[in-house]
Structure formats: C-alpha cells, structure tokens
C-alpha cells in the first residue's frame, strides 16, 4: 500500500478503538496503532488487513500488516493481533469510515458561483466556483456541490448530498437526502419520445419524427448513489423514479417513465428502456439491457450482457440474449462453442440413417 502511492492522510486509531467501532472482539494486543488499510500482500507497518476465508491465510503469515480483521472460525498467525467479526468485509468498510472519514472540500458558497433568483440554501451548504444554480433552486443543509455542476430552475435537492464536478440536473428535478452524484451524470434530460408523422406533400422525406414534449420529471429518493456519466431521462408526462438506497454505476442509461425500486443495483453500462419497472432489490449486470414496458420482480437479477425481452418473476436470475433462466442459460450458452461438432454429427447421423433405410437389411420403412 504505502509502497504503491501516498494514501490520503488517515487518522490514527488503536486496534481496540476500531474493534469497538466495527463491533468485533480484539485478539492479541488492543493498543496496536492502525494508520492505514491494505491487502495482506501489500501491507506495511500500521496497516489493517482483512481475511474473509482461509485462502488468504498463507499471505497473512508473511504479511507486514499490523493487524487483521478476521472471520469467525479462522485463526490468526502466531503473534499477530486482530479483530474477530462475523462479516469481515462489512467490518472493513466500517473501519475505513473512521480511518478515512469523508472530507468536505467546499463549506461555503463561492462568490464565483452563479446563483439565480429565489435560490434557498440550507445551513452549511458548500457551493464551488463555477457552479450554476437556476432560479428557485432549493438545497438542503450540509449539501456540497463541486465546481462546474449545473442545477436547473426549480430543482429541489435534499440534505447532506455530494454532487461532484460536471453533474447536470435539469429543471424541476427532485432529489432526496444523502444522494451522491458523480461527475458527468445527467439527470432529467428529455426522454426519447417521437411520433412518426407522414408528410405526404414531400415524397422525398415522407415521414418525419415529431417530438413529444417531455413535461414530466425525475424523482430520486434518499441514499441513492449514481456513477459518472450515467443518464436518467425525465418522464414524458409523469415521473421517472429511483427508489431509496439504490446504487447505480457509471455510464448507465435509464429511459423515461422508468420506475426503479429500493436497494436496486445497476452495474456499469446497463440500460433500461422507457416505462419498465424494476422492483426492490433487482440487480442488473454490466452491459445488460431491459426492453421497454416490462417488469422485473423483487430480487430478480439479469447477468452481464443479458438482453431482457420480457418480464422476469420475483427472485429469478436470467442470462443471455434473449435472456432466460440462468440455470438453463449456463448450460445452453456453454454449448455454443460445440455447435459445429453437433452439426457434423447430425449430418453424419442423417447419412447413416439414409444408408440404413435404403440398405439391404433395413427394408424401406418410408
């Protein structure tokens, strides 16, 4: 870790303090000083590492780590201190939160920001230089907005949000509390709505695309995180909505009128076409796509690169293009590689059958 790059300055804690924070039991020396985090192979003095299963134990033995977070049922190497917990990964996430507490960059409203008329800002809002806030924008207390982000007129932003640089929010969008938006994401651009219009007087171009005004909006609930360069379009008439706690990766596309439930996971570069519904706890893998006007039930999943062409019942995982039950898809798609052999065998069988049917012993059954 320390050998790779200069980590952000961390606070310094004793092993006991961290154990208390993560809800684990100290093994060994509670006064060990922890100043960083690493994996076993790269750890330096002062680093805390975590070991989820026995496969990491070997590297832990030769590690220079100060201490390890370790699952129940696993033993530490002799002489090493640690913290025993039920869920090492979760404990590690919690340890990171106190070792590297999120730092605010902007705590005031920059005089170089562009603030419209009637803007209402809560206490402790930080607005970077070059930010644009349209007329009537409302921002809750503790929210931080980095340089170059724009928020259209009448948009409403909750408390304790962080919007990084270059986020673009269109007019009237509504965003809850503790929402994190990464650079380049675009919330509330027009949905892709056009009606084909015949123009009979113009035979060269007999059909044109007539734009449908997108007069709906986007509503994003609390605790949502949205990745870099993801786009979420405003509804045609009503609302494109993202439920509480949902996490969205980079370069994802969410079409107009889509309704996404709570605690949904959307991995990078997936896309959801207009008016589809994803219930709570749905997961979409990277580069997967969902056609319009279908519904994915609670906890349904689509594996990476799936093309979901019809509704998926709650709890089912699908894969493939078109997508179907992943238990069958794993077997079916593994056969693709062998298609040429099966084709060859099929043609051989046909030939053998021809011979059998026409041969002396077989007798003509046709």
Cα 98 to Cα 76: distance, rounded to the nearest angstrom: 24
| The only residue of 15, 51, 253, 301 in contact with a second copy, by rule CB under 8 A | 253
| Total residues in contact with a second copy, by rule CB under 8 A | 134
State which of positions 193-212 bind a second copy (CB under 8 A): 194-195, 197, 205, 207-212
Q: How do 13-14 and 25-27 pair as beta strands?
A: unpaired
State which of positions 315-354 bind a second copy (CB under 8 A): 320-322, 324, 328-329, 331-340, 342-343, 345-346, 349-350, 352-353
150 binds a second copy (CB under 8 A): yes
The residue among 72 and 97 lying less far from a second copy, judged by its C-beta, is 97
The residue among 30 and 59 lying less far from a second copy, judged by its C-beta, is 59
263 binds a second copy (CB under 8 A): yes
The residue among 96 and 314 lying less far from a second copy, judged by its C-beta, is 96
Which of these ranges, 13-21, 22-30, 71-79, 174-182, lies near a second copy under the rule CB under 8 A?
174-182
Q: Please, what is the minimum distance in Å from the beta carbon of residue 91 to a second copy? A: 9
| 322 upstream amide cis, omega within 30 of 0 | yes
Cα 156 to Cα 219: distance, rounded to the nearest angstrom: 10
Cα 87 to Cα 84: distance, rounded to the nearest angstrom: 9
Which residue is catalytic, options 182, 210, 256, 293?
A: 256
Cα 280 to Cα 227: distance, rounded to the nearest angstrom: 19
Scan for tokens 């832990």, then name that residue: 60
37 forms beta bridges with 48
| The two structure tokens encoding residue 235 | 């509804």
117 binds a second copy (CB under 8 A): no
State which of positions 276-295 bind a second copy (CB under 8 A): 280-281, 286-287, 289, 291
Which of these ranges, 22-30, 53-61, 117-125, 220-228, lies near a second copy under the rule CB under 8 A?
220-228
Which of these ranges, 24-32, 64-72, 75-83, 162-170, lies near a second copy under the rule CB under 8 A?
162-170
CB-CB neighbours of 342 under 10 Å: 10
State which of positions 69-98 bind a second copy (CB under 8 A): 87, 89-90, 92-94, 96-97
| The two structure tokens encoding residue 334 | 């593994």
Q: Please, what is the minimum distance in Å from the beta carbon of residue 78 to a second copy? A: 26
State which of positions 227-246 bind a second copy (CB under 8 A): 227-229, 231, 233, 237-239, 244-245
Q: Please, what is the minimum distance in Å from the beta carbon of residue 201 to a second copy? A: 15
| The only residue of 268, 277, 284, 326 in contact with a second copy, by rule CB under 8 A | 268
State which of positions 122-141 bind a second copy (CB under 8 A): 128-130, 132, 134
| The only residue of 25, 215, 293, 310 in contact with a second copy, by rule CB under 8 A | 215
Report CA torsion sign: 256, 261, 262, 266: negative
168 in active site: no
Point out the residues that are catalytic.
256
């Amino acid at each position: 870790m320390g050998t790779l790059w200069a980590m952000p300055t961390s606070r310094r804690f004793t092993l006991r303090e961290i154990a208390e924070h993560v809800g684990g039991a100290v093994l060994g020396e509670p006064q060990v000083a922890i100043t960083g985090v690493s994996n076993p192979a790269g750890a330096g003095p002062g680093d805390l590492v975590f070991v989820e299963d026995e496969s990491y134990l070997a590297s832990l033995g030769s590690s220079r780590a100060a201490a390890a977070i370790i699952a129940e049922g696993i033993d530490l190497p002799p002489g090493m201190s640690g913290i025993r917990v039920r869920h090492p990964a979760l404990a590690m996430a919690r340890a990171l939160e106190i070792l590297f507490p999120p730092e605010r960059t902007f705590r005031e409203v920059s005089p170089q920001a562009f603030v419209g008329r009637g803007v209402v800002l809560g206490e402790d809002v930080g607005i970077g230089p070059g930010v644009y806030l349209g007329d009537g924008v409302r921002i809750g207390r503790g929210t931080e907005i980095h340089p170059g982000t724009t928020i259209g007129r009448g948009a409403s932003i909750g408390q304790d949000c962080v919007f990084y640089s270059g986020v673009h929010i269109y007019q009237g969008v509504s965003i809850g509390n503790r929402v994190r938006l990464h650079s380049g994401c675009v919330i509330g651009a027009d949905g892709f709505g056009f009606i084909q219009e015949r123009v009979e007087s113009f035979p060269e171009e007999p059909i044109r695309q007539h734009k449908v005004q997108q007069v709906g909006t986007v509503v994003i609930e609390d605790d949502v995180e949205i990745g870099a360069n993801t786009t979420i379009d405003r509804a045609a008439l009503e609302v494109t909505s993202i439920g509480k706690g949902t996490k969205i990766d980079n370069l994802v596309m969410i079409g107009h009128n889509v309704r996404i439930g709570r605690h949904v996971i959307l991995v990078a570069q997936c896309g959801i076409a207009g008016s589809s519904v994803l219930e709570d706890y749905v997961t979409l893998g990277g580069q997967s796509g969902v056609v319009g006007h279908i519904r994915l039930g609670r906890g349904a999943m689509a594996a990476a690169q799936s093309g979901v062409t019809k509704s998926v019942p709650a709890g089912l995982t699908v894969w493939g293009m078109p997508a179907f039950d992943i238990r069958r898809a794993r077997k079916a798609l593994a056969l693709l590689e062998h298609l040429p052999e099966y084709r060859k065998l099929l043609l051989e069988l046909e030939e053998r059958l021809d011979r059998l049917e026409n041969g002396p012993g077989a007798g003509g059954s046709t």
